[in-house]
A = this chain, B = another copy of it.
Amino acid sequence: MGISERKEREKAEREQRIIGAARMLAEQDGWSSVTVRRLAQEIEYSQPVLYAHFESRDAIVGAVALEGFGELGPVLRASVRRSASPAEAMEDVAMAYLEFAFERPALYEAMFVLPTGLRFAKSDTPQSLRDTFGAMMAVVEPFCANAEVATEAFWATLHGLAELERDGRIREAFRKERVIHIINKLTQKS
């Protein structure tokens, strides 16, 4: 039965090519230019083939988002300097989060702005996203009684900073100042 396995392998490969093409095109020309036709052309198949892999265009965006979730957690963990104080660790994570958002704007957009058909409220939250949340909680915990609530708030702050800066509502030049200010406040005991 090596044949069906080969087919499965090929299918998985093709699926990855779709996701890769979508991500590349999005990062290059923005998500609006990621069309099903363009993707089909990129993987050298006709359009209906894409629908054998994904239910809709949104689902493709979702697959890219999922890839992003798989990367963000490790990036955050790796960002913490060795022998950093708890407050420094928090600052490292904050800066790393923002750099992630600005260096891969299309990926970040897929993860947090575009409709992807992914569900989060329930238990079907992808493990990689749970990990990301965990990475943030690790640096928030030392300073807060209710770590979960505090992490949600921390995350929201970072997301807001990323979004408002991305479309020019707050001044790019003051990114570091804002982070310093916030970390300073959040690491006060109360």
**Quick one: CB contact mask for A64-80 with B, threshold 8 Å, 1 for yes?**
00000000000000000
Query: Which one, B120, B152, B167, B181, contacts A167 given CB within 8 A?
Result: B120
Which stretch, A17-25, A49-57, A169-177, touches the partner chain B?
A169-177
For residue A117, give the distance in angstroms from its CB to the closest CB of chain B: 11
Bound together, the chains give a CA A104 to CA B159 distance in angstroms of 21
- State whether the Cβ of A163 lies closer than 8 Å to any Cβ in chain B: yes
For residue A87, give the distance in angstroms from its CB to the closest CB of chain B: 12
**Quick one: CB contact mask for A144-168 with B, threshold 8 Å, 1 for yes?**
1010011011011111110110011
- Are the C-beta atoms of A161 and B170 separated by less than 8 Å? no
Number of A interface residues at 8 Å Cβ cutoff, please give it.
35
- State whether the Cβ of A7 lies closer than 8 Å to any Cβ in chain B: no
CB-CB under 8 A for A160 and B167, given A181-B144, A190-B185:
no
Known: A153-B181, A157-B160; 10 extra A-B contacts, CB below 8 A, are A112-B169, A120-B167, A149-B178, A153-B157, A153-B178, A155-B160, A159-B159, A163-B163, A184-B190, A188-B188
What residues make up the interface of A, taking CB atoms closer than 8 Å to B?
A: 112-113, 119-121, 144, 146, 149-150, 152-153, 155-161, 163-164, 167-171, 174, 177-178, 181-182, 184-186, 188, 190
Question: Which 7 pairs across A and B sit closest by C-beta, in order of nearness?
Answer: A160-B160, A156-B160, A121-B168, A159-B160, A188-B188, A152-B170, A156-B161
